[in-house]
A = this chain, B = another copy of it.
Amino acid sequence: MLQLTRNGEYAVRAVLYLSSQPPGKPVLITEISESQEVPKSYLSKIMQHLVRAGLVRSRRGINGGFTLARPAETITLKETIEAVEGPIHLNICLIRKGECHRDDFCPVHPVWQEAQRRLSEVLDGKSMADLVRDGEAIKKQMKKTRRKQK
C-alpha cells in the first residue's frame, strides 16, 4: 500500500523516546509502551529487532531496560525504520538488479530510483537528536499559544 507499517511507526516512537531520556539510563519497556501508546508485548518484538540491528542496547534483570547503543545524533529515521522493516524499496524493481527483468528497457525504473533517492534523502536527513530538538520546540510553541489564548 506504499505505507509505513505499525512496526516502523512503533520503532520510531521507541527510539525517539529513548533519545529523549538521559543517555545511559535504562528505560523499562513498560515505560516506553505506556508513554508511546504501543502494545507492550508487541513492542517487545520490535525492541528485539532494534537490539539486533545495533541501535539499542538491552539489559535484563533488576536495573535492566533499554538504552540507545549509539548517540542520538548518529541514528536517523531511515535507519530506525529499516531496522524493523528491512530495506526500503518503493518498487520491487529496486530490490536488486535483475529482480525485474524489464529493468533494462523500462522507462519507469529510473523514475522509481529518483523517487526513492528523494525519499531517502528526507528520512536520512533527520537524526533522532534533531527530532528531540524539534519536539522541544513544538512544546515551547504550544505553551506560548496557550498563554496567548488566555
- Chain A residues at the B interface, C-beta cutoff of 8 Å: 1-5, 8-9, 12, 16, 37, 77, 81, 85, 88-92, 102, 104-108, 110-112, 114-115, 118-119, 121-123, 126, 131-132, 134-135, 138-139, 142
* Complex: A102 Cα to B119 Cα, angstroms: 22
Chain B residues, Cβ within 8 Å of A112:
4
The reply to whether A105 and B3 contact each other, CB–CB distance below 8 Å, is no
- Other than the given A77-B111, A105-B135, A118-B122, 6 more pairs (CB < 8 A) read A2-B2, A16-B108, A105-B142, A107-B132, A107-B135, A111-B123
Q: Which residues of B contact A105 (CB under 8 A)?
A: 135, 138-139, 142
- Counting every copy of the chain, the complex holds 2
Interface of A, secondary structure class, is helix
Going nearest first, the 10 A-B pairs with the smallest beta carbon separation are A107-B134, A107-B135, A115-B122, A118-B118, A107-B131, A4-B91, A111-B126, A114-B122, A2-B88, A115-B119
**Residue pair A8, B3 in contact (C-beta under 8 Å):** no
Q: Establish whether residues A90 and B2, one from each chain, have CB atoms under 8 Å apart when the complex forms.
A: yes
> Within the complex, what minimum Cβ distance (angstroms) separates A39 from chain B?
16
Distance of A90 Cα from B91 Cα, bound (Å): 14
